Amino acid sequence: MRRRWALFAITVASPAEAHEAFGNLGTFYQSLLHPIADPSQGLVIAATAVLLARQPPDAFRAAFLTFCLAALATLALESVTPLSEPGLRAQAIVALALALMALAGFHPGIAPMVGIAVAAGPFAA
């Protein structure tokens, strides 16, 4: 019984390390798994995916490519300059806005969808 309490005390007293659940996987896989560790980022990605899935094929192709490029550009910029994260509230607002547009059946055309994808990309990175 004492052994269990000692193990419990060691577990509670040991410091937790964020993002170390999978060990040292390298920067690519750590970034790939980050939406799992940060649910707000995953919500932005999911809301963008739902909105894009409801668009006509031409608008989807252009906006999806732009969304991926905007997210990659944000990641590249973050590796060179110290950028602050957008924050939980900002990501939640973006995810909610994208989800509401998808629910409303928003079909603005190719150019506005590309603009929305450019705006959503940094929140997903």
Looking at residue 23, its pLDDT comes to: 62
Tens of pLDDT along 34-92?
A: 666 678 888 899 999 999 999 999 999 999 999 999 988 988 888 888 877 788 889 99
Sequence-distant (6+) residues with CB within 8 A of 86 are: 94, 122, 123
CB within 8 A of 91, min separation 6: which ones? 40, 41, 43, 44, 123
Cut 0.85: pTM above it = no
- pLDDT, position 94: 93
Higher-confidence residue of 39 and 7: namely 39
Residue 107 CA to residue 91 CA, distance in Å, equals 22
